[in-house]
Structures are given as structure tokens and as C-alpha cells.
Amino acid sequence: MRDESGAVRSYDLDQVIIHPQVIKHRKTLDKMARRAEKEAKKRDRQWKKAAREAKPKTGKRGRPALDPAVKAAREAEVVARAARSGGKRGRPKSGVSTPKIPRSTGGKRGRPALSPEAIAAKAQAKAVVRSRSGGKRGRPKRK
């Protein structure tokens, strides 16, 4: 389709052209268009609410209390079950009983102590390294 200046256009005359700035606010435009139907639904809801008859309020909420006779019977059943079980809980004991042999750890945990010979050898190796480096944290002396 060509307009009055001769340019080719891709829309019909009966279509509405919306500026991109307005498209940004599409949600707002949609809400404005739906306002009438929302108001009609609201009126309908209010009419239904008024038509419903009000329930008498008892002032009590939640689960109703058990009949005392039923409650006593349940408690007696629980006591009987506890008496049958012997109060045991958890994993049942195995039929095979093997006596445990206590192992002595020598009273110490962790790494075993070095023998006096090993301590002396370690100290000597450290002294050799120190004498070579001059105590400069492993860096050799300058000559």
C-alpha cells in the first residue's frame, strides 16, 4: 500500500498505529481495558456473598475433643503395647555373643613418639642443614 507521498506502507488504514513508547505500558493499557469486566465480576461476587446464609459461629476451632470413654480405651491399648514390648527400642540384639577384647592404646592417641636414636638423628640432620645455610631459612650463604 502506498501513502500520499508515494512511500510503501505495510498497514491498513483501519489499523491503529501505536508508538513504541506506548507499547512499553501495554500492561497498564490492558488493565484499563479489563476494568469493566473486573467490576462486573466484583458485583457478582458481592451479590453471591450476600445471598449466602451466614453460618452460626460456635467460637470453637480445630479438632473436637475425643469422648472420654474412647480416650481411656486408647490409652489402655498404648499401655498394653508398651508392656508387651518390654521397653526395648532400636536394633535387636544379635543371637551370637562374642566377648570384646579391650585393646590398650598405651594411654596415648595419634602418632607414636620417636625413639631417642631417631630424635638424635633428626637433630643432627637439622644442624647440618643450618650450618650449610647459615640459618637463612634454607637459602645458601653468599661467598
In the prediction, which pLDDT does 73 show?
Answer: 95
Is the pTM here over 0.95, yes or no? no
Rounded to whole angstroms, how far apart are CA atoms 134 and 136? Answer: 6
60 in any annotated domain: no
110 in any annotated domain: no
103 in any annotated domain: no
Looking at the DSSP bridge assignments, the partners of residue 8 are 2
In the prediction, which pLDDT does 117 show?
Answer: 94
29 in any annotated domain: yes
70 in any annotated domain: no
If pLDDT is split at 50, 70 and 90, which confidence band does 12 have?
A: low
Angle CA 114–118–122, to nearest 5? 110
Mean pLDDT of the chain: 79
> What are the tens digits of pLDDT across the range 40-74?
899 999 988 888 877 777 777 888 889 999 999 99
Rounded to whole angstroms, how far apart are CA atoms 126 and 107? Answer: 30
Angle CA 22–23–29, to nearest 5? 75
> What are the tens digits of pLDDT across the range 86-143?
666 677 777 777 777 777 766 667 787 889 999 999 999 988 877 766 656 656 666 6
In the prediction, which pLDDT does 96 show?
Answer: 73
Q: Which domain holds residue 31?
A: 20-51
Rounded to whole angstroms, how far apart are CA atoms 128 and 142? Answer: 17
Rounded to whole angstroms, how far apart are CA atoms 41 and 3? Answer: 44
28 phi-psi bin (left φ>0, alpha ψ -120 to 50, beta other): alpha
8 in any annotated domain: no
31 in any annotated domain: yes
Structural domain tally of the chain?
1
25 in any annotated domain: yes
Q: Is the dihedral of CA 49, 50, 55, 59 positive or negative?
A: positive
> What are the tens digits of pLDDT across the range 14-28?
667 777 777 777 788
